[in-house]
């Protein structure tokens, strides 16, 4: 089974490579950098936290990002230790700098979809839809840039949704006792 998944991962990366050109490479590099360190998601929290009506959503997103980082980056990545597809690429084929850490699961995808989960439960649809679109683009960019396999991204999406939805329940318990 693992061999079949690896073959599928490589087939997907090969198919995505057909989309590579100078313009797309620049666009995908910008999109992926929005997700680096959760930059765009932390920026999203600022106006939410400032707004009294959306403060819970902003604080809950921060909680979900923390939980996702703890579970994905600190725990799972270190346990699995999967090498990135970019490790096998020659330097001249690199579009962005090679990431230093392991590949599975995709942290960009996990953090992005944890925000999608929280916003789906706490925000109006005019926030949810662009959040979902941007999260999807960030997740796709990780495969496009060949720093993650499809299974890394899929696992990141599942992890992010799970952590995001769980963080809403955790936040509700905390809020009931603190606020």
Tell me the pTM. 0.91
Domain positions in the chain: 21-178
Report pLDDT for 103.
87
pLDDT value of residue 3? 84
pLDDT tens for the 179 residues of the chain, in order: 788 888 888 889 889 989 989 999 999 999 999 999 999 999 999 999 999 999 999 999 999 999 999 999 999 999 998 888 888 776 667 788 778 888 899 999 999 999 999 999 999 999 999 999 999 999 999 999 999 999 999 999 999 999 999 999 999 999 888 86
Q: Which of 60, 72, 77, 91 is nearest to 174 (CA)?
A: 60
Task: Indicate the CATH number of 21-178 among 3.55.40.20, 1.10.606.20, 3.30.420.10, 2.60.40.10.
Answer: 1.10.606.20
- In whole angstroms, how far apart are CA 37 and each of 58, 88, 167, 177? 17, 24, 19, 30
DSSP code of 64? Answer: H
Q: Of the candidates 38, 14, 8, 30, which has an alpha carbon nearest to the alpha carbon of residue 141? A: 30
């Amino acid at each position: 089974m693992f061999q079949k998944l690896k073959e599928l991962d490589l087939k997907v990366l090969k198919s995505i490579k057909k989309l590579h050109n100078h313009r797309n490479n620049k666009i995908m590099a910008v999109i992926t950098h929005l997700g680096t360190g959760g930059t765009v998601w932390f920026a999203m929290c600022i106006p939410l936290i400032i707004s009294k009506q959306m403060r819970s959503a902003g604080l809950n997103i921060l909680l979900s990002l923390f939980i996702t980082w703890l579970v994905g980056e600190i725990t799972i990545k270190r346990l699995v230790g999967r090498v990135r597809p970019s490790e096998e690429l020659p330097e001249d084929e690199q579009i962005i700098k090679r990431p230093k850490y392991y590949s599975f699961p995709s942290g960009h995808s996990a953090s992005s979809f944890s925000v999608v989960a929280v916003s789906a439960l706490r925000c109006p649809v005019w926030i949810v839809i662009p959040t979902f679109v941007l999260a999807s683009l960030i997740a796709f960019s990780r495969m496009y840039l060949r720093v993650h396999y499809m299974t890394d991204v899929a696992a990141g999406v599942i992890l992010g949704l799970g952590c995001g939805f769980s963080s809403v329940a955790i936040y509700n318990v905390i809020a009931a006792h603190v606020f």
